[in-house]
Amino acid sequence: MRPVWMERPSVASHVSKAAVLVAVCLLVAFPFLVIVSTSLSSAETLDRTGGYVVFPTSLDFSAYEAILSGGIVTRAVLVSVGVTVAGTAVSLVATVLLAYGLSRRGSFAHRTLLAIVLLTFLFPPGVIPSYLVVKELGLLDTYASLVLPTAVSAFNVVIMRGFFMNVPQELLDSARIDGAGEWRVLLTIVLPLSKAVLAVIGLFYAVAYWNAFFTAMLYLNDTAKWPLQLLLRTYVLGGSTLGGSSSFDPGGAASLPPVQSVQMAVVVIALVPILCVYPFLQRHFATGVLTGAVKG
Amino acid sequence: MNQSISRRSILRSALFGASAVALGGPLLAACGSSDSGSGGSGSGSPSAGSGPVDLPSYRPARYVEPDLPGTADGVQDGYLRFPSQLQRSVEELPTDWERLTSLVLTYDPPPPAAGDNAYWTAVNERIGGELAPTIVPQADYREKFNAVMAGNDIPDTVLLTGDQLTMPRLTELLGARFADLSEHLSGDAVEAYPNLANIPTYAWRSARVNGRLWGVPVEQQVLTNVMMARVDLLSSIGVTPADVKTTDDFTDLCAELTAPQSGRWAMGPFGPTMMLLFWAAFGVPNNWRLESDGTLTKDWETDEYFAAVEYHLELSKQGYFHPDFTGFTVTQAKQSFSSGTTALYMDGLAGWRGFIEQERRTVDEIGVMLPFAQPGSDPVFHVSSGIFGITALRQDDPGVLQDRLRLLDFLAAPFGTEEWFLLNYGVEGVDHEMTNGLPVLTDKGIEEIRTMFKFIGAPPGVMFSGQSPEWVEAQHAWESAVIPATIPDPTVGVYIEPVEDTTGALQAVYDAVADVTAERISIDDFRAITQNWTEKVGNETRERLQEAMG
């Protein structure tokens, strides 16, 4: 007799699984639907529904027009894309080099360096010490301040180090016998075998850079350098229409889109880029996150 | 800024930062560093000198006679039409300066960058230099402020809001980093800056710390939070806001307004600090009450406060609040009121104008409730400190400070002046268009102007609306009716070193108010929490306040 998991599933089993999957998908998709629908709704629709819309009766793009028309958001998107791309590249290079060094037994002071890396897990730097270091390094109000203070994550180093340690030693030995140096071993043997972990760690870094607003608030003085997330934060937290909570407008102004629509449009704008990137990296995700989960 | 790097400088900074964090705030770092600015005016103990200096003299500067005059105690001037002739209020501006850096907060998205902002360029051209504010989202202002202070990276002007003015070791911070402006502003000295002399006396109280003046107030209407009403819904049941004079009237009104079967309730959420009209109804002290023997009593130490809470609970039990009111966000609460799902709504007074101008409502649709009282009693109404914050100046030579004060004088130009018009309407054809004699902001103007310079310096507010003179009349009438019923907070302008964990203990009470009004805890539990506040920080705070008040 075959074990139960090898039996052919019954129709009832298929149906129940499908029902559960559909329910879960709906649970995930429904908030997205509400967000998109609300962002496309007029003030009248919002008034009628009490604030959240599932199916808009008519499409109103005024919230998107208001956000995107002035060029501020466009500029912030460019800043965010630039910081995310450059930051992810810097972080990956730094993390790969550090993790590779720490993964090679016998490399110089690797135990001490590993202990220092792990120490940042236990004692993360506070806001003010970080600010003081950035200031002393002359990085205030520069794009570098959005990247360098968070360039290396100890967590990602540990994950990547674990992956590198699982690369068969025999491969590395044979490369060395053929005359390869450490750089060649890293670039032609280790990294090509580590695409999965590179993709996942790269995604971790990219999402972190894309979502970061606090470092920008802390280190930047010029609002023209603000990344998207900090800008969007003012829309979401301000709770005001685009005219502003205290803007003085004695003569009246054009009718402004409702707050709720603007907030939801902002959420959509923030979500879209990551949604575009995620499917291409998703296939690496399972491999990457399982790295180090089971220690052989 | 010195950007040279050395191992020692990084270590020293890191140690200052670590000390500040360990001691619960950035001020140790802010005050402990030895390289505190450049001598000049204002260094030294903030309590230096004998007795408190006089507050700046109040010299009203009306460039246009108001149609509805205000009063010195808080009723704003009202204007029903736009002035036909604007006047220049600032003839002479500093010449020996290039850039004024500022740290301010914003509730709005930031304006376009300087090079892409015609408004910003026009203001800079008019004043002959560059205004360069660092704009920080309001929610993050505390962190940014603390970091800037710890880094001793002080801009020329810094906005200190209520959050900063109640922080530990405020007096040391002011003495170490900011200029004592007493000799420039106290008494009649303020007359050198006519537009600053136009700021009412009540607003200056909070700028005087330990007897010295440390900043220029950014004035804010003393009547802050109000209960707005859907006048059209009240009219449908034959009631006007003025008809509600007692708590019994209010209870009856709620009963008539509430119709769950029609999807309508009397009220949405009020929040722990927004039960203003209930406090008014039961005569709750404004923060503290100064007793005849000179002692202070905190509002939640009075029976009146608990009576107000019980009244809220009673209305809640009757079902007069929206069933989801405890989970409402501010936006939802406003939306419910706007759509008529709820008929009464607490918000800032500025919210009324927002409904009229931005949502194109009329005063026949949206109005404001007058305070009411228990039968046989007179209502009271709480007034705020009358400021949004104060603008403090970094320590520098007296001449430089005078130049900066003249720039603040420019920014405080009142209604009816060319400067005010430029600061509020920017460039014609770009930021505004003249339509029927009224300047109407364009979308570009809204985006460029926002709150750019208003939190560096601003004139006292006035009421004017090209769209709705009716709103000006209605709000002026409302303010005129309410101001005589106001009671002050006796501790405004009294600065003490906060007792340890004051913020946490206060928050515990505010959370408890939310819990008790949502019936998550009993009134006895709530009373126990307030008593815990009294024992933990209240008694010590009271003693310090009483000592400071003499």
d(CA B392, CA A165): 57
Could you tell me if A92 and A220 lie in one domain?
yes
Could you tell me if A29 and A40 lie in one domain?
yes
- Token pair in block for residue B511: 């959370």
Partner residue opposite B110 with nearest CB, options A51, A72, A137: A72
Could you tell me if A68 and A7 lie in one domain?
no
Whether the CB-CB separation of B450 and B233 falls below 8 Å is answered with no
Could you tell me if A84 and A200 lie in one domain?
yes
Strands (E), B349-417: 366-368, 381-382, 387-393
Question: How is B280-295 classified by DSSP, letter by letter?
Answer: HHHT--SSEEE-TTS-
Q: Is B275 helix (H, G, I), strand (E, B) or coil?
A: coil
Which pLDDT belongs to residue B392?
97
Could you tell me if A225 and A106 lie in one domain?
yes
Q: What is the 3-state secondary structure (H, E, C) of A28-93?
A: HHHHHHHHHHHHCCCHHHHHHHCCCCCCCCCCCCHHHHHHHHCCHHHHHHHHHHHHHHHHHHHHHH
Q: Which residues in chain A have their CB less than 8 angstroms from residue B135's CB?
A: 223
Last residue of a domain, one of A42, A60, A78: A60
Which pLDDT belongs to residue B272?
53
- Token pair in block for residue A250: 């004695």
Mean pLDDT over each residue of chain B, to the nearest integer: 87
Q: For the residues B476-491, what does the mean pLDDT come to?
A: 94
d(CA B349, CA B215): 25
> In whole angstroms, what separates CA B216 from the centre of its chain?
14
Q: Which residues in chain B have their CB less than 8 angstroms from residue A264's CB?
A: none
Beta carbons of A252 and B465 less than 8 Å apart: yes
Nearest CA in chain A to B351: A245
Which pLDDT belongs to residue B467?
82
Q: Which residues in chain B have their CB less than 8 angstroms from residue A218's CB?
A: 143-144, 147
List CB contacts of A246: < 8 A, sequence separation 6 or more.
B107, B108, B350, B451, B454
Whether the CB-CB separation of B74 and B202 falls below 8 Å is answered with yes
**Bridge partners for B267 per DSSP:** B321, B344
d(CA B196, CA B412): 6
Residues A42-56: tens digit of each pLDDT: 877 887 776 778 888
Q: Which residues in chain B have their CB less than 8 angstroms from residue A239's CB?
A: 107, 330-331
Q: Convert A125-148 to b/e letters by CB count within 10 Å (16 or more is b).
A: bebbbbbbbbbbbebbebbbbbbb
Query: Is position A146 within any domain?
Result: yes
How many Å lie between the alpha carbon of A134 and the closest alpha carbon of chain B? 9
Query: Is position A217 within any domain?
Result: yes
Residues 64 through 83 of chain A touching chain B, CB cutoff 8 Å: 66, 69-72, 75
Which pLDDT belongs to residue A291?
60
Taking the Cβ of residue A249 and every Cβ of chain B, the question of whether any pair is shorter than 8 Å is answered with yes
Q: For A218-222, B269-273, B474-478, which range has the lowest pLDDT when averaged over its residues?
A: B269-273
Q: What letter represents residue A20's amino acid?
A: V
Could you tell me if A10 and A45 lie in one domain?
yes
How many Å lie between the alpha carbon of B429 and the closest alpha carbon of chain A? 14
d(CA A51, CA B362): 22
Last residue of a domain, one of A45, A60, A75: A60
Question: How is B211-234 classified by DSSP, letter by letter?
Answer: TEE--EEEE--S--EEEEEEHHHH
**In this model, does residue A243 exceed pLDDT 70?**
no
Confidence of residue B49 (pLDDT cuts 50, 70, 90): low
Q: What letter represents residue A166's amino acid?
A: N
Residue A211's nearest CA partner among A262, A273, A159, A157 is A273
Residue A206's nearest CA partner among A81, A54, A99 is A81
Q: Which residues in chain B have their CB less than 8 angstroms from residue A258's CB?
A: 335
* pTM assigned to the model: 0.84
Query: Is position A296 within any domain?
Result: no
Q: Which residues in chain B have their CB less than 8 angstroms from residue A70's CB?
A: 112, 443-444, 447
Q: Is B195 helix (H, G, I), strand (E, B) or coil?
A: helix
Nearest CA in chain B to A237: B139
Which pLDDT belongs to residue B178?
97
Which pLDDT belongs to residue B208?
95
Instruction: Please check whether the domain covering B225-382+486-495 is classified as CATH 3.40.190.10.
Output: yes
Last residue of a domain, one of A38, A60, A82: A60
How many Å lie between the alpha carbon of A250 and the closest alpha carbon of chain B? 4
Partner residue opposite A245 with nearest CB, options B107, B113, B465: B107
Could you tell me if A210 and A170 lie in one domain?
yes
Could you tell me the sign of the dihedral formed by the alpha carbons of B174, B176, B182, B184, in that order?
negative
Which pLDDT belongs to residue B170?
93
Q: Which CATH superfamily is domain B25-43+81-220+386-461 in?
A: Periplasmic binding protein-like II (3.40.190.10)
Which pLDDT belongs to residue B15?
40
Beta carbons of B445 and A224 less than 8 Å apart: no
Beta carbons of B140 and A256 less than 8 Å apart: no
Which pLDDT belongs to residue B257?
95
d(CA A78, CA A71): 11
Do strands B157-161 and B130-137 pair parallel, antiparallel, or not at all (unpaired)?
A: unpaired
Residue B199's nearest CA partner among B489, B490, B461 is B461
Residues 252 through 291 of chain A touching chain B, CB cutoff 8 Å: 252-256, 258-260, 263
Q: For the residues B378-404, what does the mean pLDDT come to?
A: 93
Q: Return the number of other C-beta atoms located less than 10 Å from residue B333's C-beta.
A: 24
Could you tell me if A55 and A66 lie in one domain?
no
- Token pair in block for residue B149: 């202070």
d(CA B384, CA B202): 10
d(CA A30, CA A46): 18
Quick one: what percent of chain B has pLDDT higher than 70? Answer: 90
Confidence of residue B21 (pLDDT cuts 50, 70, 90): very low
Confidence of residue B28 (pLDDT cuts 50, 70, 90): very low
Nearest CA in chain A to B137: A234
CA distances from A133 to A140, A209, B74 (A): 10, 20, 47
Q: What letter represents residue B263's amino acid?
A: G
Instruction: Give the structural domain span for A68.
Output: 62-247+254-290
Total structural domains within chain A: 2
Partner residue opposite B144 with nearest CB, options A218, A243, A260: A218
Distance, first Cα to last Cα, chain A: 33
Which pLDDT belongs to residue B5?
40
Q: For the residues B489-515, what does the mean pLDDT come to?
A: 90
d(CA B477, CA B483): 10
> What is the Rg, in whole angstroms, of the alpha carbon atoms belonging to chain A?
25
Sheet holding B342-348, edge to edge: B265-267, B342-348, B225-230, B366-368
Could you tell me if A206 and A99 lie in one domain?
yes
Q: For the residues B249-258, what does the mean pLDDT come to?
A: 96
Could you tell me if A45 and A70 lie in one domain?
no
Residues B156-191: tens digit of each pLDDT: 999 999 999 999 999 999 999 999 999 999 999 999
Confidence of residue A7 (pLDDT cuts 50, 70, 90): confident
Which pLDDT belongs to residue B44?
43
Q: What letter represents residue B363's amino acid?
A: V
**In this model, does residue A1 exceed pLDDT 70?**
no
How many Å lie between the alpha carbon of A70 and the closest alpha carbon of chain B? 7
Per the model's pLDDT, the better-predicted residue between B59 and A122 turns out to be: B59
Mutate to test the interface with A, among B102, B135, B331, B431 (most CBs of A within 10 A): B331
Which pLDDT belongs to residue B274?
58
Which pLDDT belongs to residue B40?
40
How many Å lie between the alpha carbon of B101 and the closest alpha carbon of chain A? 10
Q: Which residues in chain B have their CB less than 8 angstroms from residue A131's CB?
A: 17, 147, 150-151
Residues 137 through 156 of chain A touching chain B, CB cutoff 8 Å: 137-138, 140
How many Å lie between the alpha carbon of A48 and the closest alpha carbon of chain B? 7
d(CA A158, CA B24): 32
Residues A172-209: tens digit of each pLDDT: 999 999 999 989 999 999 999 998 889 889 988 998 99
Do strands B265-267 and B438-441 pair parallel, antiparallel, or not at all (unpaired)?
A: unpaired
Beta carbons of A135 and B151 less than 8 Å apart: yes
- Token pair in block for residue A69: 């028309």
Could you tell me if A213 and A124 lie in one domain?
yes
Whether the CB-CB separation of A150 and A132 falls below 8 Å is answered with no
Residues A144-166: tens digit of each pLDDT: 999 999 999 999 999 999 989 98
Per the model's pLDDT, the better-predicted residue between A75 and A220 turns out to be: A220
Write out the H or E segment, with its range, that includes residue B159. strand B157-161
Q: Which residues in chain B have their CB less than 8 angstroms from residue A222's CB?
A: 113, 134
Mean pLDDT over each residue of chain A, to the nearest integer: 84
**In this model, does residue B30 exceed pLDDT 50?**
no
Tokens 């709705």 belong to: B468
- Token pair in block for residue A224: 């023209």
> In whole angstroms, what separates CA A116 from the centre of its chain?
26
Beta carbons of A260 and B331 less than 8 Å apart: yes
Could you tell me if A88 and A153 lie in one domain?
yes
The dihedral over CA atoms of A67, A68, A73, A77, expressed in degrees to the nearest 10, equals 130
Confidence of residue B527 (pLDDT cuts 50, 70, 90): very high
Identify the CATH number of the domain in which residue A208 sits: 1.10.3720.10
Query: Is position A205 within any domain?
Result: yes
Per the model's pLDDT, the better-predicted residue between A278 and B92 turns out to be: B92
Please classify residue B345 by burial: count the beta carbons closer than 10 Å to its beta carbon, then call 0-12 exposed, 13-18 middle and 19+ buried: buried
d(CA B161, CA B345): 26
Whether the CB-CB separation of B125 and B373 falls below 8 Å is answered with no
Residues B114-161: tens digit of each pLDDT: 888 999 999 999 999 999 999 999 889 999 999 999 998 899 999 999
Which pLDDT belongs to residue A25?
94
**In this model, does residue B45 exceed pLDDT 50?**
no
Q: Which residues in chain B have their CB less than 8 angstroms from residue A140's CB?
A: 1, 153
Q: Which residues in chain A have their CB less than 8 angstroms from residue B440's CB?
A: 251-253
Residues B295-347: tens digit of each pLDDT: 999 999 999 999 999 999 999 899 999 888 777 777 778 888 888 899 999 88
Confidence of residue A241 (pLDDT cuts 50, 70, 90): very low
DSSP class of residue B262 equals G
**In this model, does residue B68 exceed pLDDT 50?**
yes
Beta carbons of A251 and B16 less than 8 Å apart: no
d(CA A146, CA B394): 28
Tokens 């460019």 belong to: A78
Q: For the residues B513-525, what does the mean pLDDT come to?
A: 89
Domain spans, chain B: 25-43+81-220+386-461, 225-382+486-495
CA distances from A73 to A42, A261, B104, B380 (A): 21, 16, 21, 46
Beta carbons of B332 and A133 less than 8 Å apart: no
Per the model's pLDDT, the better-predicted residue between B61 and A259 turns out to be: B61
Mutate to test the interface with B, among A68, A221, A231, A260 (most CBs of B within 10 A): A221
**Bridge partners for B486 per DSSP:** B381
Query: Is position A239 within any domain?
Result: yes
Query: Is position A295 within any domain?
Result: no
Question: How is A90-142 classified by DSSP, letter by letter?
Answer: HHHHHHHHHHHHHHSTTSTTHHHHHHHHHHHHHSPPPHHHHHHHHHHTT-TTS
- Token pair in block for residue A184: 């060649």
Confidence of residue B254 (pLDDT cuts 50, 70, 90): very high
Q: Is B516 helix (H, G, I), strand (E, B) or coil?
A: helix
Which pLDDT belongs to residue A238?
62
